[in-house]
Amino acid sequence: MPQFRVPRNLEVPYPEHELPPTYLINHDIKPIERERRKWGSLAFLSLWSVVAFNMSNLQLGSSLLSVGLNWWQSIVATLLGHIIAAGLVVLVSFPGLYYHISFPLSQRMTWGFNGAIFVVLNRILLSIIWFGVQSWQGGLMTYVCLRAWFPSIDNLPPTFSPSTGMNLAQFVGFIVFFVLQLPFLLLKPVPLRYLAYVSTVMGFIVQLVLVVWACSTMESFGDILSNKQSVGGGQLGWSFVFGITVTMSSITSGTLSVCDYTRFAKRPQSGILPQLAGFFPAWLSNVFGILTVAGTQKRFGAELWSVVQLLMAIQDQNSTTATRCAVWFAGFSFLINQLALNVIGNSFSGGTDMASLLPKYINIRRGQYLTALLGLVINPWYLVSGALVFLSVMSAYTVFLQPFLGTVAASYFVLYRQRIKVSDLYKLSGNIYWYNYGVNWRAIVSWMVGVAPHLPGFLHTVNPTIKVGAGAEHMYLLTAISSFVISFTMTVLLGYIFPVQAQQDFVNSTTREEAIQLKEDFINGSDIMRGVEVPWDPVTGDKSSHISEVEKDSEKNQ
């Protein structure tokens, strides 16, 4: 029976001094060699500043004011949330900082070679969805820029049905932004830091100028900076806790894939303190947002938390050439920041994840363009404008993501004591992370136990008609913290009760310094791993070899 074979010219390109990629490894997913470790302290501070000085983070204060907190309580809650989140970022970034492996590879050591596919698919799904949604947000800001130069763009005919949630002018802005960001997907990982530098400076300047203008030209601060609050007593305490966790949840997706960037660190210290300091620009943007809206509330007669609506209102109130020019520069700065956020935060992570699944045919660049294409296919304008249930699900998805962080942190720091046998992450035979048929059941149980207590509250958030008790609601409000702690604890308990002997032998017989040196030795001689056979070719279906006896014995022991 004839078999389908993929043409060789579809295989990913590779440097001349390396052997061709296999179904286990290619140039983009191998541990980063010393020559490609170019990210210093400024790069990591800029990375999280890109996340900080974006449109969504500027608007975060509105979600907290809407749950009953006053302005200073919202500021304190976001401060605490960003500090805790920064600590988690550093915690889960260690495998990348010290062993220079990406997020998908860090999951192989915890979930097993096949089990990690489940985690990676979750991250790919998020990358695709958020790439589309963030592209739509960037498209709206592009529309603001076009509108500043061509106010008549609003006179375009109503081509689209109201059910789509958009008009022709907004769609034009979306297409322009989508096409504009495509060339930036060609940037290799190392030069991406320059995009972070530029967008950080532009994002900070535009937000600073907005808040200074709003406060210096205001009639009064309005009601936002009053000390009144709509809840009190115990409910106030839970609203404050919710403010902390929703702040943490706003960067959970980025926290999950932080190893994709930290593996390029010049040295571990380059990514520790700068990422810890990343809480400050994120919190500063929240403060800027609250002050800007407070300063313009009386002027526009409404709380314009949407940056798009605010810039449009500024132009509509005084449509002089100078005003339109100012609106264009503000819109362009937000546009560049949105572009950097989408390329670095979504497409690069999605590309890295896809490359780990099929490294022979997908590298980071191809994965980035696949992420972009699928992000367009999902019709993001409809998701943002019309599918409220969908947006509720995505905003509450932290329930399923945070336990991933708990399992990997517990494995790395407690069970493995910061010792990873990197070479075993790139092979099947004799792999101490193979577990049972490539799946670690302990990670599955830890993840499920971390998710389960929060599911009733999650379902109620998505569909308020589902009634749950106060305890379930309160448990859900703790999601960003409790799900991490529960999965962390379960991973440790199961690891001690049901240990993997091969892993214990490696950890007990190897110091961290020796493990790091073994990683360097593997990097320097990693080409020998390119000839490893795999038991199944996922494209052609050929069975080229069988799992070795060593691997079978490993399964029996695990």
Q: What pLDDT, on a 0 to 100 scale, did the predictor assign at position 537?
A: 44
Q: What pLDDT, on a 0 to 100 scale, did the predictor assign at position 546?
A: 36
Report whether 434 contacts 112 (CB < 8 A): yes
Helix-strand-coil percent breakdown of the chain, rounded to 5? 70, 0, 30
Categorize the per-residue pLDDT at 162 as very low, low, confident or very high, splitting at 50, 70 and 90: confident
Q: What is the mean pLDDT of the chain?
A: 86
Arithmetic mean of pLDDT, 270-288: 93
Q: What pLDDT, on a 0 to 100 scale, did the predictor assign at position 540?
A: 43
Arithmetic mean of pLDDT, 94-118: 95
At residue 8, does pLDDT exceed 90? Answer: no
- Beta bridge partners, 39, equal 265
pLDDT tens, residue by residue, 323-375: 999 999 999 999 999 999 999 989 999 999 999 999 999 999 999 999 999 99
pLDDT tens, residue by residue, 393-449: 556 788 899 999 999 999 999 999 999 999 999 988 788 999 999 999 999 999 999
Q: What pLDDT, on a 0 to 100 scale, did the predictor assign at position 442?
A: 97
Arithmetic mean of pLDDT, 158-173: 83
Name residues whose C-beta falls within 8 Å of residue 111's C-beta, 6 or more positions apart in sequence: 118, 119, 407, 439, 440, 443, 444
Residue type, 58: L
Total Cβ atoms within 10 A of residue 477? 23
Categorize the per-residue pLDDT at 127 as very low, low, confident or very high, splitting at 50, 70 and 90: very high
At residue 295, does pLDDT exceed 90? Answer: no
Q: Residue 320: left (phi > 0), alpha (psi -120 to 50), or beta?
A: beta
Q: What pLDDT, on a 0 to 100 scale, did the predictor assign at position 296?
A: 86
Categorize the per-residue pLDDT at 16 as very low, low, confident or very high, splitting at 50, 70 and 90: confident
Distance from C-alpha of 352 to C-alpha of 469, rounded to nearest angstrom: 41
At residue 389, does pLDDT exceed 60? Answer: no
Give me the CATH code for the 8-397 domain, please: 1.10.4160.10
Where would I find the beta strands (DSSP E) of 43-93?
none
Name residues whose C-beta falls within 8 Å of residue 67's C-beta, 6 or more positions apart in sequence: 231, 239, 242, 243
Poorest-pLDDT segment among 104-118, 267-281, 309-323, 376-390:
376-390
Categorize the per-residue pLDDT at 526 as very low, low, confident or very high, splitting at 50, 70 and 90: low
Entry pTM: 0.88
Q: What pLDDT, on a 0 to 100 scale, did the predictor assign at position 414?
A: 97
- Three-class HEC string of 119-159: HHHHHHHHHHHHHHHHHHHHHHHHHHHHHHHCHHHHHCCCC
Q: What pLDDT, on a 0 to 100 scale, did the predictor assign at position 395?
A: 63
At residue 231, does pLDDT exceed 80? Answer: no
Distance from C-alpha of 555 to C-alpha of 553, rounded to nearest angstrom: 5
pLDDT tens, residue by residue, 539-552: 444 444 333 433 44
Distance from C-alpha of 199 to C-alpha of 52, rounded to nearest angstrom: 11
Report whether 133 contacts 177 (CB < 8 A): no
- Beta bridge partners, 265, equal 39
- Beta bridge partners, 439, equal 436
Arithmetic mean of pLDDT, 94-119: 95
Closest CA to 310 of 476, 452, 464, 144: 144
Report whether 129 contacts 378 (CB < 8 A): yes
Q: What pLDDT, on a 0 to 100 scale, did the predictor assign at position 528?
A: 41
Which of the pair, 81 or 463, is modelled with greater confidence? 81
Which of the pair, 391 or 247, is modelled with greater confidence? 247
- Three-class HEC string of 193-211: HHHHHHHHHHHHHHHHHHH
pLDDT tens, residue by residue, 136-150: 999 999 999 999 999
Distance from C-alpha of 219 to C-alpha of 97, rounded to nearest angstrom: 50
Distance from C-alpha of 425 to C-alpha of 217, rounded to nearest angstrom: 59
Cα end-to-end span (Å), the chain: 38
Q: What pLDDT, on a 0 to 100 scale, did the predictor assign at position 95?
A: 96
Poorest-pLDDT segment among 218-222, 282-286, 438-442:
218-222
